[in-house]
Amino acid sequence: MCTGGPGAAVLLTLWGAAYGAVPACSLTWFLAAAPHAPEAAGVLFTSSFQATLSIGALTGGLVVDRSSPATVMVLGGVALLAAATVWGYGHRVRPEPAAGSEPGARP
């Protein structure tokens, strides 16, 4: 299924659907991490977004040069599954609160 036109079309559709939420979610996470500096969070978001696009384009281009476009789609699907696994696992694991960080605790 993942070799040829139909497999590539399925993976491309899945990638496009998942990618639609990335900018909004990422910016929300950056702003939540630095509520006191929204401008800096926006700059960091833009820089990291451009860097990841550049790295992805370079990696995809290298793979296409050495194999085929279908291989890029298969590797993209594998990366998507790996990211979904990490994301799903991350939602089940919560860090322990640091000592003294409970609400109402004094330093």
What is the tens place of the pLDDT at every residue in 46-101? 999 899 889 989 988 998 899 988 888 888 889 889 988 988 887 666 666 666 65
pLDDT band at 14 (very low <50, low <70, confident <90, very high): confident
pLDDT band at 39 (very low <50, low <70, confident <90, very high): very high
Q: How far is CA 79 from CA 18, 27, 28, 44, 51, in A?
A: 12, 21, 23, 24, 17
Q: How many residues appear in the chain?
A: 107
Quick one: pLDDT at residue 15?
76
The rounded distance, in Å, linking the Cα atoms of 37 and 23 is 19
Residue type, 42: G
pLDDT band at 13 (very low <50, low <70, confident <90, very high): confident
Quick one: pLDDT at residue 3?
62
Greater confidence (105 vs 19) lies with 19
